[in-house]
Structure 1
Amino acid sequence: MASIPASLGDPSSSSFSPSPSPSSSNSFPLSLYNRFSKWRSELGLPNPGSVENLQKEVKVVHLTNYAFEGGRADITKSMSMNPLFQVTHSFALGSQNTSSYNFGAIFANEKVFLQGGVDHEGNVNARMNQGWTSSHVTKMQAQISQQLGHNLLQLEHDYTGQDFNLNLKAVNPWPTDLTGVFVGSYLQSITKNIALGTEWLLQRPTPNTSEMMATYLAKYTSSDKSWIATAQAQPAGVLQATYWQKLSEKVEFAADLQLMATPMRRDAVATLGAKYDLRLSTFRAQLDSTGKVAALLEQRFTPTFAFLMSGEIDHFKNSAKVGVGVMIESSTLSQEEMEVQMQQMQSPTNPPL
Structure 2
Amino acid sequence: MAAYPPSLSTVEPVVAPPSPSSSSSKSSAFNVFHRFASWRNSLGLPNPGTVENLQKEVKSTLLTNFFFDGARADLSKSLSVNPIFQVTHSFALGSQTVAPSYNFGAVFANNNVFLQGGVDHEGNVSGRLNQGWSANNVTKAQCQLSSQVGHSMLQLEHDYQGQDYTVNIKAMNPSPVDATGIYMASYLQSFTKNLALGVEMLHQRPQPEMTETAASYLAKYTNDDKNWIATAQLQPAGMMQATYWQKLSEKVDVAADLQVIAAPGRRDAIATLGAKYDLRMSTFRAQLDSTGKVSALLEQRFAPSFSFLVSGEIDHFKNAAKVGVGVMIESPSMTPEEMNMMQMPPTLPP
Q: TM-score, normalised by structure 1?
A: 0.88
Q: Kindly provide the CA deviation profile for residues 289-322 of structure 1, in whole angstroms up to 9, marking residues without a partner as x.
A: 0000000000000111000001111111111111
| AA partner of residue 80 (structure 1) | S
User: Aligned partners of 1:192, 1:301: CA distance in 2, in Å?
Assistant: 42
User: Aligned partners of 1:183, 1:163: CA distance in 2, in Å?
Assistant: 21
1:196 aligns with 197
2:95 aligns with 95
User: Aligned partners of 2:181, 2:261: CA distance in 1, in Å?
Assistant: 26
Unaligned 5+ segments in structure 1 are 1-16, 338-353
| AA partner of residue 134 (structure 1) | A
User: Aligned partners of 2:310, 2:258: CA distance in 1, in Å?
Assistant: 27
Q: CA deviation at 1:68?
A: 0.5
Q: Do residues 28 (structure 1) and 28 (structure 2) align?
A: yes
| AA partner of residue 266 (structure 1) | R
The aligned runs of 1:1-353 (5 Å cut-off) are 19-20=19-20, 23-95=23-95, 98-333=99-334
Q: CA deviation at 1:23?
A: 4.8
Q: CA deviation at 1:38?
A: 1.2
| AA partner of residue 243 (structure 2) | T
| AA partner of residue 247 (structure 1) | L
Alignment root-mean-square deviation, CA? 1.6
Q: CA deviation at 1:82?
A: 1.1
Unaligned 5+ segments in structure 2 are 1-16, 343-350
User: Aligned partners of 2:193, 2:86: CA distance in 1, in Å?
Assistant: 39
23-32 or 190-199, which deviates more: 23-32
User: Aligned partners of 1:144, 1:107: CA distance in 2, in Å?
Assistant: 20
Q: TM-score, normalised by structure 2?
A: 0.89
Q: CA deviation at 1:21?
A: 7.7
User: Aligned partners of 1:133, 1:18: CA distance in 2, in Å?
Assistant: 38
Q: Which runs of 4+ in 1 moved over 4 A?
A: 21-24
Q: Secondary structure at the match of 2:173?
A: strand
Q: CA deviation at 1:207?
A: 1.1
How many percent of aligned residue pairs carry the same amino acid? Answer: 69
Q: Secondary structure at the match of 1:215?
A: strand
User: Aligned partners of 2:22, 2:87: CA distance in 1, in Å?
Assistant: 59
| AA partner of residue 112 (structure 1) | V
Q: Secondary structure at the match of 1:26?
A: helix
| AA partner of residue 68 (structure 1) | F
2:10 aligns with none
